[in-house]
Structure 1
Amino acid sequence: SARCVPGALVFHAGTQRADDHVVTAGGRVLTVVGSGASHREAIDVAYRAAACIRFEGMQMRRDIGKKALVALGAP
């Protein structure tokens, strides 16, 4: 569960509750965000949290935040 990553938040979009489970309902299912002392740290938190989430057919963008790092000249 992404709850194990401090500084991470998960926003549900294409999900619904089925009994005691959360299931996908199609489209963009979740948005995972992270907070940190720097942009790099926030990105790392978000991707660590996203790595805790698994479901069939899952796809994840891996470019989020890179434009900000380039614009800021971050290493």
Structure 2
Amino acid sequence: MNKKEIPSTKIESIIKPKCNLFELVQYQCNIKDDRVVCSPFVRIFKRCSGKPTVEITPYYDDEGSPIEQKF
């Protein structure tokens, strides 16, 4: 068998695809008495070349601590 060396840059691009993070700000609004009160809610997305965009916004428990997601 004839072995060929693969340049390390080719391997790194397979292991670590180029990804970009995007942020989207939405608002959660509630009616209180005669007013509408809105709070911002930030959502975070990751887009890697050749793959679909995925939301990676962390989830938080009732005390505000992030919950680890298992994929």
Q: Same fold (TM over 0.5)?
A: no
Structure with more helix by fraction: 1
**Higher RCO (C-alpha 8 Å, min separation 6):** 1
With normalisation by structure 2, the TM-score equals: 0.29
Q: Indicate the structure (1 or 2) with the bigger Cα radius of gyration.
A: 2
